Protein backbone atom coordinates (compact mmCIF):
# COMPACT_ATOMS: atom_id res chain seq x y z
CA UNK A 1 0.00 0.00 0.00
CA UNK A 2 1.43 3.35 -1.10
CA UNK A 3 0.75 5.84 1.70
CA UNK A 4 -0.94 8.96 0.34
CA UNK A 5 0.29 12.28 1.69
CA UNK A 6 -3.24 13.63 1.67
CA UNK A 7 -4.24 11.17 4.40
CA UNK A 8 -2.60 13.18 7.20
CA UNK A 9 -4.05 16.47 5.92
CA UNK A 10 -7.57 15.02 5.95
CA UNK A 11 -7.17 13.40 9.37
CA UNK A 12 -6.55 16.82 10.90
CA UNK A 13 -9.95 18.03 9.65
CA UNK A 14 -12.14 15.05 10.47
CA UNK A 15 -14.93 15.41 13.05
CA UNK A 16 -14.36 19.15 13.34
CA UNK A 17 -17.84 20.16 12.20
CA UNK A 18 -17.30 20.52 8.44
CA UNK A 19 -17.99 18.55 5.28
CA UNK A 20 -14.89 17.04 3.65
CA UNK A 21 -14.74 17.18 -0.15
CA UNK A 22 -12.07 15.17 -1.99
CA UNK A 23 -11.67 16.16 -5.63
CA UNK A 24 -9.61 14.33 -8.23
CA UNK A 25 -9.78 12.31 -11.45
CA UNK A 26 -11.24 8.83 -11.53
CA UNK A 27 -8.89 5.96 -10.73
CA UNK A 28 -6.49 8.04 -8.63
CA UNK A 29 -7.28 6.26 -5.37
CA UNK A 30 -10.01 8.31 -3.68
CA UNK A 31 -11.94 5.26 -2.49
CA UNK A 32 -8.77 3.45 -1.42
CA UNK A 33 -7.72 6.50 0.56
CA UNK A 34 -11.05 6.60 2.38
CA UNK A 35 -10.91 2.89 3.18
CA UNK A 36 -7.50 3.49 4.71
CA UNK A 37 -8.73 6.51 6.67
CA UNK A 38 -11.75 4.69 8.07
CA UNK A 39 -10.33 1.16 8.26
CA UNK A 40 -11.11 0.87 11.98
CA UNK A 41 -14.53 2.49 11.93
CA UNK A 42 -17.71 0.41 11.83
CA UNK A 43 -20.34 3.13 12.06
CA UNK A 44 -20.17 4.31 8.45
CA UNK A 45 -22.69 4.53 5.62
CA UNK A 46 -21.02 4.15 2.20
CA UNK A 47 -22.93 5.45 -0.83
CA UNK A 48 -21.98 5.36 -4.52
CA UNK A 49 -23.26 8.31 -6.53
CA UNK A 50 -22.93 6.37 -9.79
CA UNK A 51 -25.79 4.06 -8.72
CA UNK A 52 -29.32 5.02 -9.73
CA UNK A 53 -30.97 4.06 -6.43
CA UNK A 54 -28.56 6.26 -4.49
CA UNK A 55 -29.29 9.14 -6.85
CA UNK A 56 -33.01 8.63 -6.16
CA UNK A 57 -32.47 8.90 -2.41
CA UNK A 58 -31.18 12.44 -2.85
CA UNK A 59 -33.83 13.52 -5.35
CA UNK A 60 -35.95 16.37 -3.95
CA UNK A 61 -34.13 16.18 -0.61
CA UNK A 62 -35.67 17.18 2.72
CA UNK A 63 -33.97 17.01 6.09
CA UNK A 64 -36.54 14.47 7.35
CA UNK A 65 -36.05 12.18 4.37
CA UNK A 66 -32.26 12.32 4.54
CA UNK A 67 -31.96 11.92 8.30
CA UNK A 68 -34.29 8.92 8.21
CA UNK A 69 -32.07 7.33 5.57
CA UNK A 70 -28.84 8.11 7.47
CA UNK A 71 -30.15 6.79 10.78
CA UNK A 72 -27.65 6.71 13.63
CA UNK A 73 -24.52 6.57 11.50
CA UNK A 74 -21.70 8.86 12.64
CA UNK A 75 -20.07 9.07 9.22
CA UNK A 76 -21.45 9.18 5.68
CA UNK A 77 -19.19 8.71 2.66
CA UNK A 78 -20.56 9.53 -0.79
CA UNK A 79 -18.38 8.41 -3.71
CA UNK A 80 -18.73 10.23 -7.06
CA UNK A 81 -21.05 12.80 -5.51
CA UNK A 82 -21.11 14.92 -8.68
CA UNK A 83 -23.49 12.36 -10.23
CA UNK A 84 -26.22 13.23 -7.67
CA UNK A 85 -28.63 16.05 -8.44
CA UNK A 86 -29.03 18.66 -5.73
CA UNK A 87 -26.06 17.21 -3.86
CA UNK A 88 -25.07 20.63 -2.51
CA UNK A 89 -28.48 21.25 -0.93
CA UNK A 90 -28.57 17.70 0.41
CA UNK A 91 -25.17 18.04 2.07
CA UNK A 92 -26.17 21.40 3.57
CA UNK A 93 -29.38 19.93 5.01
CA UNK A 94 -27.51 17.02 6.54
CA UNK A 95 -24.78 19.24 7.94
CA UNK A 96 -27.16 21.83 9.42
CA UNK A 97 -29.57 19.30 10.93
CA UNK A 98 -26.99 16.84 12.23
CA UNK A 99 -23.80 18.87 12.86
CA UNK A 100 -22.00 15.98 14.59
CA UNK A 101 -22.32 13.85 11.43
CA UNK A 102 -19.05 13.64 9.48
CA UNK A 103 -19.83 13.86 5.78
CA UNK A 104 -17.15 12.96 3.23
CA UNK A 105 -17.86 13.31 -0.49
CA UNK A 106 -15.55 12.40 -3.36
CA UNK A 107 -15.89 13.93 -6.80
CA UNK A 108 -14.15 13.20 -10.10
CA UNK A 109 -15.38 16.29 -11.88
CA UNK A 110 -15.86 19.84 -10.75
CA UNK A 111 -17.88 21.43 -13.53
CA UNK A 112 -21.24 20.40 -12.08
CA UNK A 113 -20.11 20.17 -8.50
CA UNK A 114 -18.82 23.75 -8.31
CA UNK A 115 -22.25 25.16 -9.09
CA UNK A 116 -24.00 22.65 -6.85
CA UNK A 117 -21.79 22.85 -3.77
CA UNK A 118 -19.94 26.15 -3.49
CA UNK A 119 -22.88 28.33 -2.46
CA UNK A 120 -24.78 25.85 -0.24
CA UNK A 121 -21.61 24.80 1.59
CA UNK A 122 -19.99 28.21 2.00
CA UNK A 123 -18.18 28.11 5.34
CA UNK A 124 -19.21 24.49 5.86
CA UNK A 125 -16.52 22.53 4.00
CA UNK A 126 -12.86 21.66 3.67
CA UNK A 127 -11.77 20.89 0.12
CA UNK A 128 -8.87 18.59 -0.78
CA UNK A 129 -7.40 17.61 -4.14
CA UNK A 130 -5.95 14.18 -4.88
CA UNK A 131 -3.74 13.48 -7.88
CA UNK A 132 -2.07 10.43 -9.37
CA UNK A 133 0.62 9.10 -7.03
CA UNK A 134 3.44 11.59 -6.50
CA UNK A 135 7.21 11.29 -6.64
CA UNK A 136 7.32 11.99 -2.90
CA UNK A 137 4.83 9.23 -2.13
CA UNK A 138 6.87 6.72 -4.11
CA UNK A 139 10.07 7.85 -2.37
CA UNK A 140 8.35 7.20 0.96
CA UNK A 141 7.21 3.81 -0.34
CA UNK A 142 10.47 2.31 -1.63
CA UNK A 143 13.22 4.91 -1.15
CA UNK A 144 14.73 7.67 -3.23
CA UNK A 145 17.31 5.45 -4.96
CA UNK A 146 14.67 3.08 -6.32
CA UNK A 147 12.40 5.92 -7.42
CA UNK A 148 15.18 7.82 -9.18
CA UNK A 149 16.09 4.63 -11.04
CA UNK A 150 12.52 4.61 -12.39
CA UNK A 151 12.62 8.19 -13.72
CA UNK A 152 12.65 7.14 -17.39
CA UNK A 153 9.73 4.82 -16.72
CA UNK A 154 7.71 7.56 -15.00
CA UNK A 155 8.31 9.98 -17.86
CA UNK A 156 6.66 7.51 -20.24
CA UNK A 157 3.99 5.78 -18.13
CA UNK A 158 3.23 8.24 -15.36
CA UNK A 159 1.89 7.71 -11.86
CA UNK A 160 -1.69 6.44 -11.99
CA UNK A 161 -2.00 3.94 -9.12
CA UNK A 162 -2.85 0.92 -11.25
CA UNK A 163 0.00 1.77 -13.62
CA UNK A 164 2.46 2.02 -10.74
CA UNK A 165 1.39 -1.31 -9.25
CA UNK A 166 1.11 -3.24 -12.54
CA UNK A 167 4.54 -3.22 -14.09
CA UNK A 168 4.57 -4.72 -17.63
CA UNK A 169 0.88 -3.97 -18.25
CA UNK A 170 1.08 -0.19 -18.33
CA UNK A 171 0.03 0.32 -21.95
CA UNK A 172 -3.23 -1.62 -21.60
CA UNK A 173 -4.12 0.16 -18.36
CA UNK A 174 -3.44 3.61 -19.81
CA UNK A 175 -5.43 2.78 -22.93
CA UNK A 176 -8.40 1.78 -20.74
CA UNK A 177 -8.07 4.99 -18.73
CA UNK A 178 -7.95 7.28 -21.75
CA UNK A 179 -10.67 5.33 -23.55
CA UNK A 180 -13.31 5.40 -20.83
CA UNK A 181 -12.73 6.54 -17.26
CA UNK A 182 -11.29 10.00 -17.85
CA UNK A 183 -14.03 11.08 -20.26
CA UNK A 184 -16.93 9.51 -18.40
CA UNK A 185 -18.13 12.63 -16.61
CA UNK A 186 -17.50 14.92 -19.58
CA UNK A 187 -19.37 12.77 -22.08
CA UNK A 188 -22.32 12.44 -19.71
CA UNK A 189 -22.65 16.20 -19.81
CA UNK A 190 -25.32 17.13 -22.31
CA UNK A 191 -23.48 20.05 -23.87
CA UNK A 192 -20.74 17.84 -25.38
CA UNK A 193 -22.03 17.36 -28.90
CA UNK A 194 -18.84 16.23 -30.65
CA UNK A 195 -16.80 13.76 -28.55
CA UNK A 196 -14.53 13.04 -31.54
CA UNK A 197 -13.49 16.70 -31.53
CA UNK A 198 -12.77 16.46 -27.81
CA UNK A 199 -10.28 13.65 -28.47
CA UNK A 200 -8.66 15.60 -31.31
CA UNK A 201 -8.35 18.60 -29.02
CA UNK A 202 -6.66 16.50 -26.35
CA UNK A 203 -4.23 15.11 -28.91
CA UNK A 204 -3.47 18.62 -30.14
CA UNK A 205 -2.83 19.76 -26.56
CA UNK A 206 -0.61 16.73 -25.98
CA UNK A 207 1.58 17.86 -28.87
CA UNK A 208 1.87 21.40 -27.50
CA UNK A 209 2.92 20.90 -23.88
CA UNK A 210 5.58 23.41 -22.99
CA UNK A 211 4.43 25.81 -25.71
CA UNK A 212 2.07 28.74 -25.53
CA UNK A 213 -1.42 27.75 -26.56
CA UNK A 214 -3.59 29.69 -28.98
CA UNK A 215 -7.30 28.88 -28.89
CA UNK A 216 -7.54 30.17 -32.45
CA UNK A 217 -4.84 27.79 -33.71
CA UNK A 218 -6.35 24.88 -31.79
CA UNK A 219 -9.75 25.69 -33.29
CA UNK A 220 -8.32 25.47 -36.79
CA UNK A 221 -6.70 22.12 -36.00
CA UNK A 222 -9.85 20.49 -34.60
CA UNK A 223 -12.43 22.51 -36.60
CA UNK A 224 -14.09 24.23 -33.65
CA UNK A 225 -14.68 27.90 -32.93
CA UNK A 226 -12.53 29.65 -30.31
CA UNK A 227 -15.24 29.78 -27.66
CA UNK A 228 -15.98 26.05 -27.96
CA UNK A 229 -12.27 25.27 -27.69
CA UNK A 230 -12.03 27.34 -24.52
CA UNK A 231 -15.18 25.73 -23.08
CA UNK A 232 -13.81 22.24 -23.75
CA UNK A 233 -10.48 23.15 -22.15
CA UNK A 234 -12.27 24.41 -19.05
CA UNK A 235 -14.19 21.12 -18.83
CA UNK A 236 -11.01 19.07 -19.24
CA UNK A 237 -9.42 21.14 -16.50
CA UNK A 238 -12.40 20.68 -14.20
CA UNK A 239 -12.17 16.92 -14.74
CA UNK A 240 -8.52 17.10 -13.66
CA UNK A 241 -7.03 15.89 -16.95
CA UNK A 242 -5.16 19.09 -17.81
CA UNK A 243 -4.32 22.37 -16.10
CA UNK A 244 -3.40 25.83 -17.35
CA UNK A 245 -0.42 27.95 -16.42
CA UNK A 246 -0.79 31.68 -16.94
CA UNK A 247 2.00 34.05 -17.90
CA UNK A 248 3.43 36.30 -15.20
CA UNK A 249 3.00 39.99 -15.92
CA UNK A 250 3.46 43.06 -13.78
CA UNK A 251 2.79 45.34 -16.75
CA UNK A 252 6.45 45.76 -17.57
CA UNK A 253 7.15 46.60 -21.18
CA UNK A 254 7.26 43.66 -23.61
CA UNK A 255 5.90 41.04 -21.17
CA UNK A 256 3.30 38.81 -22.79
CA UNK A 257 -0.12 39.26 -21.23
CA UNK A 258 -3.09 36.86 -21.22
CA UNK A 259 -0.94 34.03 -22.49
CA UNK A 260 -1.14 30.45 -21.25
CA UNK A 261 0.46 27.03 -21.38
CA UNK A 262 -1.42 23.77 -20.85
CA UNK A 263 -0.03 20.67 -19.14
CA UNK A 264 -1.33 17.20 -18.33
CA UNK A 265 -1.58 16.00 -14.74
CA UNK A 266 0.02 12.73 -15.86
CA UNK A 267 2.66 11.92 -18.48
CA UNK A 268 1.22 8.47 -19.06
CA UNK A 269 -2.17 9.88 -20.06
CA UNK A 270 -0.48 12.34 -22.41
CA UNK A 271 1.59 9.61 -24.09
CA UNK A 272 -1.41 7.28 -24.33
CA UNK A 273 -3.40 9.93 -26.19
CA UNK A 274 -0.62 10.02 -28.79
CA UNK A 275 -0.11 6.23 -28.71
CA UNK A 276 3.59 6.94 -28.22
CA UNK A 277 5.34 4.82 -25.61
CA UNK A 278 8.80 4.96 -27.14
CA UNK A 279 11.50 4.93 -24.53
CA UNK A 280 13.30 8.08 -23.44
CA UNK A 281 16.36 7.42 -25.59
CA UNK A 282 14.22 7.41 -28.75
CA UNK A 283 12.10 10.46 -27.94
CA UNK A 284 12.24 13.72 -29.86
CA UNK A 285 9.96 15.29 -27.26
CA UNK A 286 11.99 14.52 -24.15
CA UNK A 287 12.24 18.21 -23.25
CA UNK A 288 8.45 18.53 -23.25
CA UNK A 289 8.04 15.30 -21.26
CA UNK A 290 10.55 16.51 -18.67
CA UNK A 291 8.83 19.89 -18.35
CA UNK A 292 5.35 18.35 -18.02
CA UNK A 293 6.60 15.85 -15.43
CA UNK A 294 8.22 18.53 -13.26
CA UNK A 295 5.32 20.99 -13.46
CA UNK A 296 2.76 18.28 -12.62
CA UNK A 297 4.84 16.92 -9.74
CA UNK A 298 5.44 20.42 -8.45
CA UNK A 299 1.68 21.04 -8.40
CA UNK A 300 1.30 17.96 -6.19
CA UNK A 301 4.09 19.15 -3.89
CA UNK A 302 2.59 22.63 -3.50
CA UNK A 303 -0.88 21.20 -2.89
CA UNK A 304 0.06 18.51 -0.37
CA UNK A 305 2.45 20.80 1.52
CA UNK A 306 -0.23 23.52 1.73
CA UNK A 307 2.11 26.12 0.26
CA UNK A 308 0.53 29.46 -0.56
CA UNK A 309 2.23 29.92 -3.90
CA UNK A 310 1.30 31.51 -7.22
CA UNK A 311 2.79 29.66 -10.18
CA UNK A 312 3.33 31.05 -13.70
CA UNK A 313 5.62 30.97 -16.70
CA UNK A 314 7.26 34.12 -18.07
CA UNK A 315 7.90 35.28 -21.62
CA UNK A 316 8.53 38.51 -23.50
CA UNK A 317 7.81 39.61 -27.05
CA UNK A 318 11.52 39.10 -27.76
CA UNK A 319 11.12 35.39 -26.84
CA UNK A 320 12.93 35.67 -23.50
CA UNK A 321 11.38 32.93 -21.39
CA UNK A 322 11.49 31.13 -18.04
CA UNK A 323 9.70 27.79 -17.67
CA UNK A 324 8.31 28.24 -14.17
CA UNK A 325 7.96 31.23 -11.84
CA UNK A 326 6.75 30.87 -8.28
CA UNK A 327 5.68 33.83 -6.20
CA UNK A 328 5.41 33.41 -2.46
CA UNK A 329 6.09 35.50 0.65
CA UNK A 330 7.02 38.48 -1.50
CA UNK A 331 9.77 36.65 -3.41
CA UNK A 332 10.04 35.29 -6.95
CA UNK A 333 11.65 31.92 -7.68
CA UNK A 334 12.65 31.30 -11.31
CA UNK A 335 13.04 27.69 -12.47
CA UNK A 336 14.34 26.50 -15.81
CA UNK A 337 13.91 22.81 -16.69
CA UNK A 338 16.71 21.10 -18.62
CA UNK A 339 17.08 17.41 -19.45
CA UNK A 340 20.85 17.73 -19.77
CA UNK A 341 22.22 17.35 -16.20
CA UNK A 342 25.12 19.70 -17.00
CA UNK A 343 22.90 22.61 -18.09
CA UNK A 344 23.26 26.06 -16.57
CA UNK A 345 20.65 28.81 -16.20
CA UNK A 346 21.30 32.52 -16.32
CA UNK A 347 18.12 34.65 -16.50
CA UNK A 348 17.98 37.39 -19.11
CA UNK A 349 18.78 40.99 -18.23
CA UNK A 350 15.12 41.84 -18.88
CA UNK A 351 14.12 39.47 -16.07
CA UNK A 352 16.77 40.55 -13.58
CA UNK A 353 16.08 44.25 -14.23
CA UNK A 354 12.34 43.86 -13.70
CA UNK A 355 12.51 41.31 -10.87
CA UNK A 356 15.67 42.08 -8.87
CA UNK A 357 16.45 39.71 -6.05
CA UNK A 358 14.63 36.75 -7.60
CA UNK A 359 16.15 33.33 -7.03
CA UNK A 360 17.07 31.44 -10.24
CA UNK A 361 17.54 27.66 -10.36
CA UNK A 362 18.00 25.10 -13.13
CA UNK A 363 16.25 21.77 -12.50
CA UNK A 364 17.82 18.73 -14.14
CA UNK A 365 17.88 14.96 -13.48
CA UNK A 366 20.85 15.72 -11.21
CA UNK A 367 18.89 17.74 -8.64
CA UNK A 368 15.15 17.32 -9.34
CA UNK A 369 14.54 15.38 -6.12
CA UNK A 370 15.13 18.57 -4.13
CA UNK A 371 12.61 20.46 -6.27
CA UNK A 372 10.00 17.77 -5.57
CA UNK A 373 10.82 17.00 -1.93
CA UNK A 374 12.45 19.97 -0.20
CA UNK A 375 13.16 23.01 -2.32
CA UNK A 376 14.91 24.81 0.53
CA UNK A 377 18.01 22.78 -0.39
CA UNK A 378 18.06 24.43 -3.80
CA UNK A 379 18.33 27.93 -2.39
CA UNK A 380 21.16 27.32 0.08
- Domain positions in the chain are 6-129, 135-379
Which residues fall within 8 angstroms of residue 96, CB to CB, at 6 or more apart?
A: 63
Write down the pLDDT at residue 182.
67
Query: What does the pLDDT look like over 182-218, one tens digit per residue?
Result: 666 676 655 666 678 888 999 999 999 989 999 999 9
Write down the pLDDT at residue 232.
86
Residue 380 pLDDT > 70, yes or no?
A: no
Return the CATH superfamily for domain 6-129.
Answer: P-loop containing nucleotide triphosphate hydrolases (3.40.50.300)
Query: What does the pLDDT look like over 255-281, one tens digit per residue?
Result: 888 889 999 999 999 999 999 999 999
Residue 116 pLDDT > 80, yes or no?
A: no
Write down the pLDDT at residue 119.
74
Of 177-181, 190-194, 259-263, 330-334, which gets the smallest average pLDDT? 190-194
pLDDT, the chain, mean: 90
The average pLDDT across 344-354 equals 92
d(CA 53, CA 42): 23
Write down the pLDDT at residue 80.
87
Write down the pLDDT at residue 99.
92
Q: With helix as H, strand as E and coil as C, how does the chain read?
A: CCCCCHHHHHHCCCCCCCEEEEECCCCCCHHHHHHHHCCCCCCEEEEECCCHHHHHHCCCCCHHHHHHHHCCCCEEEEECHHHCCCHHHHHHHHHHHCCCCEEEEEECCCCCHHHHHCCCCCCCEEEEECCCCCHHHHHHHHCHHHHHHCHHHHHHHCCCHHHHCCCCCHHHHHHHHHHCHHHHHHHHCCCCCCHHHHHHHHHHHHCCCCCECCHHHHHHHHCCCHHHHHHHHHHHHHCCCEEEEEECCCCCCCECCCCEEEEECCHHHHHHHCCCCCCHHHCCCHHHHHHHHHHHHHHHHHHHCCCCCEEEEEEECCCCEEEEEEEECCEEEEEEECCCCCCCCCCCHHHHHHCCCCEEEEECCCCHHHHHHCCHHHHC
Distances (CA, A) of 342 to 346, 362, 363: 13, 10, 10
Amino acid sequence: MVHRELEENIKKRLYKGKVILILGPRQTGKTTLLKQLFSKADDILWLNGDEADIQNVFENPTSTKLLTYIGNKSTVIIDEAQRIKNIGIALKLLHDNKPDLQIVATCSSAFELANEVNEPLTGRKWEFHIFPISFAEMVNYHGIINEKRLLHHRLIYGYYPEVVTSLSDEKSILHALTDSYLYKDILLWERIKKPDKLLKLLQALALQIGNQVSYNELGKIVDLDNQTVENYIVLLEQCFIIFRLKSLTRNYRNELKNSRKIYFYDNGIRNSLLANFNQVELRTDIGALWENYLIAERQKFINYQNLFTNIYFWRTKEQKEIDCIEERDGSFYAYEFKWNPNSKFLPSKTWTDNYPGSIPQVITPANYEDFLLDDTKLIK
